[in-house]
Homo-oligomer: A and B are copies of this chain.
Amino acid sequence: MDSLQEVCEKVLALINPSKEEVDKVGRLVEALKAKALEEALKLGLEADPQVYGSFAKGTWLSGEADIDLFLRVPAHITRQEMAQKSLKIGEAVVEALGGHWIKRFAEHPYVEGWVDGIRVNIVPCFRVERGFWLSAADRSPFHTEYVMARLKEDGKSQVRLLKRFMKGIGVYGADIKTGGFSGYLCELLILRYGGFKEVLEAARSWRRGFIIDLEGYYKGRESDARKIFPEPLIVVDPVDERRNVASAVSLHRLGEFMAAAGLFLDRPSMRFFYPPPRIPLALDDFSSALSKRGTCWILILFAPLEVVPDVLWGQMYSSLRAISKFLRNQGFNVLREAAWSDEGRLNAFLLELDSRTLPKAKLHLGPPITSKESNAFLTKYLKNEDTISGPWIHGNRWVVLLKRRRIDAVEMLREVFKTKDIGIRSKIAEAMNRHLEILVDGEIAKAYSRSEGLATFLMDFLIGRPPWLWEG
């Protein structure tokens, strides 16, 4: 076993950019800024092109440079003018440098381009005083300034290590799909604890509602902070005390990070930074593993949605929770559920139940014996073809043993998907109207070979264990 220091050194050799790479990206940055200024002048937009984000702060990973070019416009410009003109500038800049681009949507539309294999986001924002935010992107210059003023040279490597670790264990990214840690959050964690190892050590003893408040805005008022920020981890933004930098971090991802931190400190390994790829089993082996489990798998496949990833994943997760809740309310024991999408052609929900069918009978709790509803209950169930036994009295309530009319989870799902009035979100419901397949247990083999991404997802679910979890 390598020591922690040895592992970190190996990783740093892979992620710290070489002088050549820094120079190359630097030259591109200068060209982008110059061209953007030129285009802004052409359009008569008083824009100040600046690069913020990980490139400016020197915390990007080798091979993964991401240039965030901000077009900072005066606050008196209208949103419409800002949006339209910055889109035109972005398109022209990328094309002039021989790249290609697509239009993306966040709060405003913006340009995501690729130039020489490097991703470039060209994003408009307003030049405002701190606290007088007009758009979400207005904070970025302040974030960059805050970090640059405080992060030393070694700190940058420490941020890189933390980012790579988080990427390796799958908790990096504040997008809806991931629900994890942003780059800025990594930087603040390093500023708070001093280094990568120290962040991991601290994370071992975080508790739900843990507060990191670099500027002490909530000093002595921690309970106020917990009321304002309901999220499991609270990192108060040094440039905006009303914002939780960790608001995207889900309880699940927080838990994975904390657990991985502890395991890595106990047994350092490259696996945490670079997880071994999960190689799907041959179809026969997969089928045989599935049939041996003794549980029930339900795979719901449906048509793609024409929406940006954050909307897709927001609707996916929320609809999956609704389906799971529906099954639980019916009496099923849902062991696990997961969503998958290739963000283009195919979407899937996967649910594992301990049994496909419910017992044929169930207790039905009636009203308190002294309540006004007693008579209606007795009238209903004394002569009811679904009554198996009773009514009798248990404690102070009537109880009756009833026949369950429907006991098959798949049948119930097929039926409920006709109306989808159980909380399936609109875009998902539309997609299901276009195409919907429900496969159970052995039938899932049919879909296994349809897409490598889907096969990997099914394998992940089969194993159910994060790849960074040690094997012995």
Residue numbers of A with Cβ under 8 A of B are: 204-208, 251-252, 254-256, 258-259, 262-263, 266, 293-295, 333, 335-336, 352, 354-355, 359-363, 369-370, 374-375, 378, 382-383, 388-398, 401, 403, 461-466, 469-472
Contact = CB atoms under 8 A, between A and B. Distances in A.
Contacts of A403: 294
A299 to B, nearest CB: 16
A335 B462 CA distance: 34
A293 B254 CA distance: 48
Contacts of A258: 369-370, 396
Nearest to A259: B369
Contacts of A392: 336, 464-466
9 contacts: A207-B370, A208-B396, A251-B396, A255-B396, A255-B397, A294-B403, A295-B359, A335-B401, A392-B465
B255 A390 contact: no
A401 B369 contact: no
A342 B255 CA distance: 58
A168 to B, nearest CB: 16
Given A206-B370, A258-B369, A374-B259, A361 B394 contact: no
Contact of A393 (B255, B389, B398): B255
A79 to B, nearest CB: 40
Contacts of A361: 293-295, 335, 354
A134 B291 CA distance: 71
A336 B375 CA distance: 23
Contacts of A295: 359-361, 388, 401
A389 B462 contact: yes
A83 B292 CA distance: 70
Contacts of A382: 465, 469-472
A231 to B, nearest CB: 14
A255 B395 contact: yes
Nearest to A232: B396
A465 B259 contact: no
